């Protein structure tokens, strides 16, 4: 440990990164990665940072293992007093009990000390279910504390999580198992963790039927050797009648080993350093597993985002081609417009020359309602329906496609909106469309005003003024006749031709083309923004997507550099 300060800073940076690296989607492996992340954050808080700050602090030995293996019984037996409850009901220990010499108490009470995140109590009985109870005893040698942890394998999941957290804070793991249980899978998982972290480890095989000690030890040691744990210190404890709930001389080897460890500062220091180095060295692999899970999440989120982007882009294309088909000029709009300018009759007059057109239009608009505005209104409401339908269909498709993909359903469930609400355009979409269309109409009229310039007189003479020309321009924008058939085509064609004629008479051919294109682009632009707003409802469910694996790997390699 050459540079404790740089290492501490690098660990703090890693911790901050881990904290913000959420694994929200339930993808394969996400559960394990979440657990790995929690364990690493806990170990940083509970153990690494406090240990790096105080390398000379007392050594903490944590008794971990299966329920009923005798962890609490061993703890009480080592102390010679009942400091923790042992019992026949499984699991017995829910709240951990830490026993230390009175001289060492201040270190374990310290807010910046080991396991500082757990609430403390020094009362005789546990307060609540999760706090750490501190007990002092003169039976222990100063410099070494023992902690009786909950089990790793009962039905109580909270116990396992706490046990894993406590083992993460240990300078020394004392793994307690029994002759009957040592071949179980769960204990070996934990031994695998101890191995990955190169934590100092000792094993107690408790409750061995007298006479079988050698056989059990032999078999168990072979299993350890198979897993490259052959060098582990193993104690065997024969099962005898308990005296006042405590194990007798059978526990002496464990007791004296711990006492000599506590008494030998150099050996203690070496053990503390080895576990610390092991924990630090285990970080890159652990981070890498979390980073891979983050990559999976990012990839999945990207795929979901892609579905949304593509589907809403399609919605805009759908609206655009609806404009191309001239569908918007169907029905009422045509009637209004026909009423406004007439068709056949108007056309023949148009052919007779501009002056005749003027006369006709002047005649038409000298009195009565303003059908140009009705036509514009109708156009807008048609456009509203087309747009809303396109957004409705896009939203429904996105929901259906997300539901069919891993993580998608979960992302949907995270929304404050119901699936029904998500499956259609946002409730205020009509208002938004109306607002945009009104703004667009303004824009078109401004275009006409701007273009008219010195031709403004002609415009005025031609019709009731700018408005009429504006509607003519709007009609021109929607008047591709591609998809319209039969009689409607003729009408629409005629209608469009009339629009075209009015505009051409005012502005000339090239300007009309430019104006129509400009107006159309502006409309599509507005609709595109509107779709984007609606799409945001889905994008927001995917988070900002910035928590990727590589930045996490980077801080982990910074840590390696700091340690080097």
Ligand X SMILES: Nc1nc2c(ncn2[C@@H]2O[C@H](COP(=O)(O)OP(=O)(O)OP(=O)(O)O)[C@@H](O)[C@H]2O)c(=O)[nH]1
Q: By CB under 6 A, which span of 70-78, 194-202, 308-316, 469-477 interacts with ligand X?
A: 70-78
Question: For residue 523, what are its two tokens?
Answer: 């409309």
According to the binding rule CB under 6 A, does residue 207 interact with ligand X?
Answer: yes
72 forms part of the interface with ligand X (CB under 6 A): yes
Indicate the residue among 90 and 405 with the shorter CB distance to ligand X.
90
402 token code pair: 């997300």
Looking at the Cβ atoms of 110 and 156, the one nearer to Mg ion is: 156
Task: Tokens for 366, please give them.
Answer: 């000298």
178 binds Mg ion (CB under 5 A): no
Q: 523 Cβ partners below 8 Å, 6+ apart? A: 323, 440, 477
Q: How far apart are CA 22 and CA 5, in angstroms?
A: 28
Residue 159 has a CB neighbour count (10 Å cut-off) of 22
Region near ligand X per CB under 6 A, out of 91-99, 209-217, 275-283, 327-335: 91-99
Identify any residues that bridge with 178 across adjacent strands, giving them in sequence order.
206
| Per CB under 6 A, 78 contacts ligand X | no
537 binds ligand X (CB under 6 A): no
247 contacts ligand X (rule: CB under 6 A):
yes
Site string for Mg ion, 23-62 (x = CB under 5 A): ----------------------------------------
Nearer Cβ to ligand X, position 88 or 266? 88
* 70: contact with ligand X by CB under 6 A: yes
Torsion of CA 109, 112, 114, 116, to 10 degrees: 70
CB of 109 to ligand X, least distance (A): 24
Q: Does 564 bind ligand X (CB under 6 A)?
A: no
CB-wise, 17 or 207, nearer to ligand X?
207
Find residue 100's DSSP bridge partners: 136
Structure tokens at 369: 């309602």
Interacting positions 142-161 with ligand X (CB under 6 A): 150-151
Q: Which of 200, 362, 288, 356 is nearest to 560 (CA)?
A: 288
- Residue 177 binds to Mg ion (criterion: CB under 5 A): no
**For residues 69-98, which are near Mg ion according to CB under 5 A?**
71-72, 92-93
C-alpha to C-alpha distance for 392 and 365, rounded to whole angstroms: 40
Shortest distance, CB of residue 401 to ligand X, whole angstroms? 48
Give the shortest CB-174-to-ligand X separation in angstroms.
12
200 within 8 A of 274, measured Cβ to Cβ:
yes
Start-to-end CA span in the chain (Å): 8
Write the CB contacts of 202 (distance below 8 Å, at least 6 apart in sequence). Answer: 172, 173, 174, 175, 232, 233, 234, 235, 257
| Least distance (Å) between residue 181 CB and ligand X | 10
Output 247 or 328, the one with its CB closest to ligand X: 247
Binding mask 93-112 for ligand X (x = CB under 6 A): x-------------------
**Residue 12, Cα to own-chain centre: how many angstroms?**
22
Q: Are strands 97-100 and 144-148 parallel, antiparallel or unpaired?
A: antiparallel
Question: Which residues sit at the interface with ligand X, rule CB under 6 A?
Answer: 67-73, 86-88, 90-93, 150-151, 206-207, 237, 239, 242, 247
């Amino acid at each position: 440990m050459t540079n404790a300060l740089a290492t501490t800073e690098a660990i703090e940076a890693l911790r901050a990164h881990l904290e913000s690296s959420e694994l929200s989607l339930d993808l394969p492996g996400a559960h394990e990665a979440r657990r790995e992340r929690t364990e690493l954050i806990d170990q940083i808080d509970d153990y690494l940072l406090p240990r790096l700050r105080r390398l000379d602090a007392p050594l903490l030995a944590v008794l971990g293992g299966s329920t009923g293996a005798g962890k609490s019984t061993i703890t009480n037996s080592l102390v010679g007093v009942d400091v923790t409850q042992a019992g026949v009901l499984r699991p017995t220990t829910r709240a951990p009990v830490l026993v230390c010499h009175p001289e060492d108490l201040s270190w374990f009470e310290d807010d910046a000390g080991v396991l500082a995140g757990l609430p403390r109590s020094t009362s005789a009985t546990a307060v609540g279910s999760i706090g750490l109870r501190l007990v002092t005893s003169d039976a222990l040698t100063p410099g070494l504390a023992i902690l009786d942890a909950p089990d790793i394998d009962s039905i109580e999941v909270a116990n396992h999580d706490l046990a894993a957290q406590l083992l993460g804070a240990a300078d020394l793991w004392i793994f307690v198992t029994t002759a009957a249980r040592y071949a179980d899978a769960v204990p070996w998982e934990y031994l695998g963790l101890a191995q990955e972290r190169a934590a100092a480890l000792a094993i107690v095989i408790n409750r061995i039927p007298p006479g079988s000690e050698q056989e059990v030890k032999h078999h168990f040691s072979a299993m350890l050797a198979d897993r490259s744990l052959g060098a582990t210190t193993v104690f065997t404890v024969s099962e005898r009648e308990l005296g006042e709930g405590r194990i007798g001389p059978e526990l002496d080897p464990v007791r004296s080993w711990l006492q000599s460890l506590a008494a030998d500062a150099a050996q203690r220091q070496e053990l503390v350093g080895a576990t610390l180095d092991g924990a630090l060295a285990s970080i890159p692999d652990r981070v890498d597993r979390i980073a891979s899970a983050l990559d999976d999440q990012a990839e999945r989120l990207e795929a979901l985002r892609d579905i949304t982007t593509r589907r809403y882009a399609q919605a805009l294309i759908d609206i655009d081609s609806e404009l191309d088909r001239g569908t918007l000029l169907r029905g009422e709009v045509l009637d209004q417009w026909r009423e406004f300018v007439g068709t056949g009759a108007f056309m023949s007059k148009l052919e007779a020359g501009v002056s005749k057109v003027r006369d006709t239009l002047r005649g038409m608009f000298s009195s009565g309602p303003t059908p140009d505005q009705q036509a514009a209104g109708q156009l807008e409401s048609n456009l509203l329906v087309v747009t809303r339908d396109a957004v409705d269909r896009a939203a429904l498709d996105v929901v259906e496609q997300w539901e069919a993909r891993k993580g998608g359903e979960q992302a949907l469930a995270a929304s404050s909106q119901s699936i029904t609400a998500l499956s259609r355009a946002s409730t205020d979409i009509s208002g938004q469309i109306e607002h945009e269309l009104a703004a667009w109409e303004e824009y078109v009229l401004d275009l006409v005003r701007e273009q008219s310039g010195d031709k403004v007189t002609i415009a005025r003479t031609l019709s009731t003024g700018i408005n009429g020309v504006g509607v003519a321009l709007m009609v021109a924008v929607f008047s591709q006749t591609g998809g319209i058939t039969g009689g409607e085509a003729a009408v629409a064609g005629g209608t469009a031709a009339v629009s075209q004629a009015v505009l051409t008479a005012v502005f000339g051919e090239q300007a009309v083309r430019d104006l129509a294109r400009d107006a159309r682009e502006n409309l599509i632009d507005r609709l595109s923004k509107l779709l984007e707003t609606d799409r945001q409802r889905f994008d927001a469910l995917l988070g900002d997507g910035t928590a990727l694996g590589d930045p996490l790997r980077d801080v982990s390699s910074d840590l390696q550099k700091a340690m080097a």
